């Protein structure tokens, strides 16, 4: 039985080897056929290319003669004349009449890219965010409400407050420049920019004046004062009104004013909840429960007090009233 099994294995291996040889032979034959087709096709392609090259010289010569005649006539016509200069009038491009849709789109994209900075520097968004953040810390609710909710609420409150300011800025500066009407006075880019910034400057000046934080303006103005004995020291003059204050001075002064006002309002909101924490802590200590965190016990009482007095309504109303109306 062992001899028969060994003979069967040998026959099986022989058959497998024969089948392998057949497959390799068929593969080699296919490769040879493909190479033959490629070589024959290559000879035919080269022959076609040579025939085309034989027929094209006459056409090339004819085309060269036509081009030389055209060049000679053009040189004869253009003798003694200079090529037309390529001039780009930038003032004409940015004028209201020459403002194309491409430039309008570029200006819009520029404004959108600077929108976060404009929102922070020229609006009351800073005040709203800081006050609501301090209120959340005073309540002790950790991340409730979430940052997205607080920022969304502050954003819509900012849109409500800044709506008249932006509307006047658009009507005074942007609309006469991008869409001039027959009765509008002619304007350029510099004048349109000044008219657009005017309402924003007035709003920031009113908020600084109402909060009594004009000292920040004089601090930055004094920082800009040239040193005694320098060339610009004699020409330097202190501004007599907010309209004469440089925008590089007004913007940081306004931001400092908003931060200070926000912390003052936040302290007023923080104080009642601090008293509740102190009362709860003293009660727990008097009862001997020193291992129990006072914050864990005071949180329900703070939430109950905040809901009973309708705290969100009072807080948002106080923030809106703290902003001086525009106009």
pLDDT digits (tens, 9 = 90+) for 1-57: 565 666 677 677 777 766 665 665 555 555 555 455 544 444 444 445 455 555 544
What does the pLDDT read at residue 145? 87
Give the model's pLDDT for residue 263.
Answer: 93
Share of the chain above pLDDT 70, in %: 61
Q: What percentage of the chain has pLDDT greater than the value 90?
A: 10
Which tokens sit at 46?
């080269």
User: pLDDT of 299-327, one tens digit each?
Assistant: 888 888 888 988 899 999 989 988 876 65
When pLDDT is averaged across residues 80-102 and rounded to a whole number, the result is 50
Name every residue whose Cβ is closer than 8 Å to that of residue 256 and which is 6 or more positions away in sequence. 213, 216
What residues contact 251, with CB distance under 8 A and at least 6 apart? 121, 122, 204
For the chain, strand residue ranges (E) read none
Domain contains 75: no
For the chain, give the number of residues: 327
Greater confidence (11 vs 252) lies with 252
DSSP string, 115-166: HHHHHHHSSSHHHHHHHHHHHHHHHT-TT-S-HHHHHHHHHHHHHHHHHHHH
How far is residue 279's CA from residue 297's CA, in Å, rounded to a whole number?
Answer: 11
User: Is the confidence at residue 131, as pLDDT, over 90?
Assistant: yes
Residue 49 lies in a domain: no
Instruction: Give the DSSP H or E segment for 89.
Output: none
Which range (59-68, 160-169, 235-244, 263-272) has the least confidence?
59-68
* Tokens, residue 285: 């200590």
Backbone angles phi, psi at 326, to 5 degrees: -85, 145
Q: Residue 79 is encoded by which pair of tokens?
A: 């003798």
Res 95: pLDDT: 52
Contact 211, 261 (CB under 8 A): yes
CB within 8 A of 320, min separation 6: which ones? 157, 160, 161
Residue 120, domain extent: 94-225+242-322
- What tokens were used for 150? 């607080």
List all residues 6 or more positions away from 124 whose beta carbon is below 8 Å from its beta carbon: 157, 158, 161, 162, 207, 258, 323
In a domain, 35, yes or no: no
The listed range with the strongest mean pLDDT (93-107, 248-262, 277-291) is: 248-262
Across 70-79, 117-126, 221-230, 279-288, least confident range: 70-79
Peptide bond into 145 cis (omega under 30): yes
pLDDT at site 153:
92
Higher local confidence (pLDDT), 95 or 253: 253
Looking at every residue in the chain, the average pLDDT score rounds to 73
Residue 208 lies in a domain: yes
133: in domain: yes
**pLDDT value for 130:** 93
Residue 263 lies in a domain: yes
User: Count of domains in the chain?
Assistant: 1
Report d(CA 117, CA 95) in Å as an integer.
Answer: 27
Q: What burial letters (b/e) apply to 131-144, b meaning 16+ CB within 10 Å?
A: bbbbbbebbbeeee
Nearest alpha carbon to residue 210 among 119, 126, 325, 327: 325
Residue 71's pLDDT is 43
Domain presence at residue 53: no
3-state DSSP assignment of residue 96: coil
The reply to whether 316 falls in a domain is yes
Are the beta carbons of 261 and 213 closer than 8 angstroms?
yes
pLDDT of residue 38: 45
């Amino acid at each position: 039985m062992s001899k028969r099994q060994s003979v069967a294995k040998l026959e099986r291996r022989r058959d497998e080897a024969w089948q392998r040889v057949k497959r390799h032979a068929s593969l080699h034959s296919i490769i040879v056929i493909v190479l033959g087709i490629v070589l024959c096709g290559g000879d035919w392609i080269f022959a076609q290319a040579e025939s085309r090259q034989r027929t094209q010289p006459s056409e090339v010569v004819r085309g060269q003669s036509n081009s030389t005649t055209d060049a000679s006539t053009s040189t004869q016509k253009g003798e003694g004349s200079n090529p037309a200069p390529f001039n780009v009038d930038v003032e004409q491009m940015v004028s209201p009449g020459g403002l194309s849709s491409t430039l309008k789109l570029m200006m819009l994209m520029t404004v959108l890219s600077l929108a976060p900075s404009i929102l922070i520097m020229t609006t009351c968004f800073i005040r709203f965010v800081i006050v609501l953040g301090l209120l959340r810390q005073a309540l002790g609710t950790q991340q409730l409400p979430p940052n997205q909710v607080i920022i969304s609420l502050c954003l819509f409150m900012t849109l409500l407050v800044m709506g008249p300011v932006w509307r006047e800025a658009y009507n005074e500066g942007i609309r006469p420049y991008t869409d001039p009407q027959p009765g509008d006075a002619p304007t350029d880019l510099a004048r349109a920019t000044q008219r657009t910034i005017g309402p924003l400057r007035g709003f920031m000046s009113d908020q600084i004046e109402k909060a009594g934080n004009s000292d920040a303006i004089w601090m930055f103005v004094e920082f800009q004062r040239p040193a005694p004995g320098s060339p610009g020291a004699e020409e330097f003059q202190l501004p007599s009104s907010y309209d004469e204050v440089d925008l590089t001075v007004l913007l940081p002064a306004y931001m400092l004013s908003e931060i200070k006002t926000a912390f003052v309002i936040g302290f007023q909101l923080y104080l009642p909840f601090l008293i509740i924490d102190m009362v709860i802590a003293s009660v727990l200590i008097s009862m001997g429960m020193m291992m129990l965190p006072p914050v864990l016990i005071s949180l329900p009482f703070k939430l109950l007090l905040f809901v009973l007095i309708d705290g969100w309504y009072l807080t948002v109303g106080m923030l809106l009233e703290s902003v001086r109306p525009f106009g």
